[in-house]
Structure 1
Amino acid sequence: MQKIFSVIEYMSDMGRKLSIQEISAALDMSTATVHRILTGLKGLGYVEQHTNKQYYLTYKLYALSGDVINRDGAIDRIIPIMNYFSMRYGCEVGLTVFDGASIIHIISVGENISFGMQPTPGQVCPVYCTAAGKFHLAQMEQDALMEWIAKARIVPHTRNTIIDRDELLQEIVRTRSQGYGVAVGELYDMLASVAFPIRDGGRRITGTINLNFSVEKFRTQMSQTFVQEVEEALKRFGV
C-alpha cells in the first residue's frame, strides 16, 4: 500500500506525464512493480495511459481528494472570502491546505493572472519555492526544519528559486517572524504570491489563502498596509 501512495504522490508532485522507467528510477522500485501499480490504478480510473506509453493522474483522483478535504464544508465557507480578496485587490486567490510535509492546492478564484500555469485541484505543490510552502515550513520546529532542509531535493524552477540551503533557512525564519509567506517569481517567472494562514474552529492552522499577482503588480501592491488589511479581514471573517 505504501508503494501505491508513493507512486501517486510522485506523479502528483511532478504534474506531467511520466514513463514507467522515470517513476521506477525516482522511487527506486522495479519496473515490474511500477507497472503493476499503474495497471491497478488505471483499472480503477485514477490513472490514464497516453499513446506514447506515459502515464498521468486523472481528474477522478483530484475530485476524490477535493471531496475528502471538503467533508466539513470548509471550502464552501472560504470561497466567498476568496472572492472578496480577489475583487478587493484585483488578483487571483488560491486555497492551499497542509497534509503532513506537503501542501495541496484546492481551488483558485478570480482573475487568471497565472497564465494558465496554476496547479490543478488536488495537486501537491513544492514547498520551498511557493509562498504557502514557505509558511508551512515556518510552522515546523527548528530541529525538524533543519533536518528537512538538509535532506530535501531542491531544484531551480526559475532563476529566482532559492536553492542555497542557508539562504532558504533564512527565508523560512523570516517567514516565521512576519507571519506570512512570500514568493516572487520562484515557481513561475511572472507570478508573485503572498500566503496568509487560515485556521479551523479550534484555531489550528490548516492551510493558507494565497493572493497571486503579476510580479509587476506585486511590487506596487505589497506594503505593510496591504498586509495589515488582509490580516484584519481574515480575523473579521473568523478564519
Structure 2
Amino acid sequence: MTLSSVATAARILREFGKHSTQLGVSQLARRVGVGKSTAHRVLWTLVEEGLVEKVEETGLFRLTSTMGSLGASAETSQRLHEAATHPLDQLRTKTRGTMHVAILDGIDVLYVERREGLGTLQVFRAVGSRNSAYMTASGKVLLAFLPAEQQRSLIEEIRLTPKTARTITTRAAFLAELHRVRSQGYGENRGEWQPGMCSIAAPIRDPLGQVVASVSVAEYVEDVEPGLRHLAGPIIETAKRISAGLGWHE
C-alpha cells in the first residue's frame, strides 16, 4: 500500500532531474499526471521541507542545494564503493583494524564504506553513521585538504569539546594539526575520541586531484603514542589505489 501524496512528491522530484532545472506548476502537473491544485500543494510542501525552492526571477521551481548535495553524495558513495572494494580487501590482509571510507558532511564525517578486520571488536562506526570530524583521523584529512576559505568557515563552526584528555581543544592547536596532516599526507587520531582507540587515514582524490573522501583504519591499541603510524604506508597506498579507481593519476 502506498500514499498517493508521497508518490506524487517522488514523481515531481524525479521530473527535475529528467528535463529542466526549473519547472512550473502546470508543467509538473501535466508531466506527473495530476491536477494543477495537487501539484501546487505538493510543490509547496516540498518548499517548506527545504527540498524545492521558487526562483523569484522566473516564477518557476527548482531543487535546492540540499537536494543537489544528496544526489552528489549518493553518486559519490556508489563510485567510492566500486573503486574501494578491491583495495580494501587487500588492506584487510595487513591489519586487524576496522577500515572505513568516509566523506565530509558539514563538520561531520559520514561513513559510506566499511570492512571488518580479522578479530575486530564490534565497536566502530557502521555505514551511514557519523562522527565529529575534529577528533577522527578521517575528519582531519578531509578538513586539512579543503580550500582555505572553506576550511576556515567550517572550523569556525566546530566546538572543540574534549572527549578524552588527548582531544585537541584549541583552534590554534587544531590548525597546526591540520597543517601537519597536509604536509605528511595522512591524519591520525591517537586516543582523542575514545581512550585507547587510534585511527589513521589518507586522502582519496577525484580525477581532478581534489580530495573527495578518506580511507582509514581504526583499532584499539595498548600504546596510543605511536598509534597506528606503522600503517601509514599501507593506508596511503590504499588511498592511491582507490583514487586511481576514480580516475586520478599522479
TM-score of the superposed pair, with normalisation by structure 2: 0.59
Correspondences of 1:55-66 after superposition (within 5 Å): none
8 Å Cα contact 2:133-2:140 kept in structure 1: yes
Identity of aligned residues (%): 23
- Corresponding residue to 1:140 among 134, 141, 146: 146
8 Å Cα contact 1:85-1:91 kept in structure 2: no
Q: CA RMSD in A?
A: 3.4
- Corresponding residue to 1:196 among 198, 202, 205: 202
8 Å Cα contact 2:186-2:236 kept in structure 1: no
Query: 2:245 matched to 1:227?
Result: no
Correspondences of 1:24-173 after superposition (within 5 Å): 68-69=74-75, 72-111=78-117, 115-173=121-179
What residue is the counterpart of 1:212 in the other structure? 218
Distance in 2, matches of 1:129 and 1:116, equals 20
Q: Report the alpha carbon displacement of residue 81 of structure 1 after superposing the two structures with TM.
A: 1.2
8 Å Cα contact 1:113-1:213 kept in structure 2: no
Q: Deviations over 1:195-232 (max 9, x none)?
A: 11112344332101101122337766745x74234434
Q: Report the alpha carbon displacement of residue 70 of structure 1 after superposing the two structures with TM.
A: 5.8
Gaps of at least 5 residues in structure 2 are 1-48, 50-69, 246-250
> Relative to structure 1, is the Cα distance of residues 103 and 233 closer, same or farther in structure 2, using a 3 angstrom cutoff?
closer
8 Å Cα contact 1:113-1:212 kept in structure 2: no
Gaps of at least 5 residues in structure 1 are 1-40, 42-63
Q: Deviations over 1:129-187 (max 9, x none)?
A: 00011111112334543444344222122222111222112111111111111101111
What residue is the counterpart of 2:191 in the other structure? 185
Aligned residues: 178
